[in-house]
Each structure stands twice: as structure tokens, then as C-alpha cells.
Amino acid sequence: MVKNVVQEQRMKGYFIEAARKMIKSEGVRVISIRSVADEAGYSYATLYNYFKNLKDLIFCAAGEFITELTDFIKARKHPELKGIDRVRSLTKAYINFFVQYPAIFDLFFCEKITDVSSNKELTDTVYSYLFTLLNEDWEVYGKSNKLSPEKLMNLIEAHHNMIHGMLLFYLNKRNQIEYKEFIVQYDNLFNQLISIK
């Protein structure tokens, strides 16, 4: 029984890894059950033994991408930073991840989420990830600047929307700038945002 569970997890892992690899390199729109099965080295009929459909497989791959994003940011954390300095640092790590893996950004924020997953928990996790990541440090900033809860929430939401809008334009080459310029632009906009009291 235990052997069957281990075997099932291993087989699922092969297909998830193949899907992740393909999404990263080609984007979610081009993958199919057959192409993922081919990439994993198995028949598409075998894939159906482990996943109901392509949505189910992409859901599992998206969950792995969230773990990958978390690990990426943890590796770039600066424990000595607190409050607004850590908000800036963690946000830059978040930005850097999606600049390195634009297809994951597309999967998370550009695809119609109901086409990818009907799992509300996943969609909520993706949407709230940056809020959760920065929550503690925004609270520190809000208290030290005596911001009302409403003003702090407006600031947090403006920052959240600014980051995703900037990434959308940058990754789609709408503004022809280099990554260093993009980060300078972020810093300038961030400074303006936090100067509004």
C-alpha cells in the first residue's frame, strides 16, 4: 500500500515537473495533455491515471510555482531590514522572480484564472501573496507613521496594484527599458507613494 502511494507521488511528480518546465519555457497556452506526457516520457493515457484533466495538472504546477516563489524570496531576504526597507527589499525579490520567469506571471495574472483552476484557495493565494508577504512590515510602517487603518490599507493596495501594473507593462515590452531602469522607476514611484500621507 505504501509502495503504491510512493509510486503514485513519483509518477505525479514527473508530470508536474514536465508541465512546470513547459510553462516556464513556452507558457501555459501551448501545453496540452499530450505534450506534457511526451515531455515526461509517458503516454497521455498514463497521465490520466494521475490527473483528471489539464486543469488539474496546471493547478498542481501552479502550487509548485508558489513554493518556488517563496523559496526564491527567502533566499534573498535581509533579516536585518525591518518596516519600509524590508517592504522595498522583498518587493524587489518578488519583481525579480517574475522578470526571470515571465510565463509564471502570465499564468498567475494574465490567464483567466477560472480557465486554469476552479480552486478558490489557489486563486486567493496567488492574489494575496504580496499582501501576505509584506503584511508585517506594512504594519510596522503604519504604526511608526501613525497611519489610520484606512490610509494604510489604501497605501498597501496602491503598492500592490502598482507592482502588478508595472510588471505587466515591463514583461509585455510596453515600455522599452532595461531591468535596471525598471528598478529605478519602481524606487521612484515607491518613494512618491510613501511620501503621500
Predicted confidence band at 112 (pLDDT cuts at 50, 70, 90)?
A: low
Of the listed ranges 111-115, 146-150, 171-175, the one predicted with least confidence: 111-115
Mean pLDDT, residues 70-95: 93
- Please say if the pLDDT value at position 153 is more than 60: yes
Give dist(CA 101, CA 185) in Å, integer: 20
Q: What is the pLDDT of residue 122?
A: 80
Mean pLDDT, residues 162-170: 95
Mean pLDDT, residues 50-62: 89
Predicted confidence band at 41 (pLDDT cuts at 50, 70, 90)?
A: very high
- Please say if the pLDDT value at position 4 is more than 60: yes
Residues 6+ apart with CB under 8 A from 92: 183, 186
Mean pLDDT, residues 26-32: 87
Q: How far is CA 145 from CA 42, 142, 197, in A?
A: 58, 5, 9
Of the listed ranges 70-79, 89-98, 145-154, the one predicted with least confidence: 70-79
Q: State the amino acid at position 24 in one-letter form.
A: K
Most confident of 16-25, 52-61, 112-121, 168-177: 16-25
CA atoms within 13 A on the CB side of 61: 28
Q: What is the pLDDT of residue 197?
A: 63
What domains sit in the chain, N to C, each tagged with a CATH number? 1-51 (1.10.10.60), 54-195 (1.10.357)
Q: When comparing pLDDT for 150 and 114, which is higher?
A: 150
Predicted confidence band at 117 (pLDDT cuts at 50, 70, 90)?
A: low
- Please say if the pLDDT value at position 144 is more than 90: yes
Q: What is the pLDDT of residue 77?
A: 82
- Please say if the pLDDT value at position 115 is more than 70: no
- Please say if the pLDDT value at position 121 is more than 90: no
Mean pLDDT, residues 155-162: 96
Can you give the three-state secondary structure of the chain, one letter per residue? CHHHHHHHHHHHHHHHHHHHHHHHHHCHHHCCHHHHHHHHCCCHHHHCCCCCCHHHHHHHHHHHHHHHHHHHHHCCCCCCCCHHHHHHHHHHHHHHHHHHCHHHHHHHHHCCHHHHCCCHHHHHHHHHHHHHHHHHHHHHHHHHCCCCHHHHHHHHHHHHHHHHHHHHHHHCCCCCCCHHHHHHHHHHHHHHHHHCC
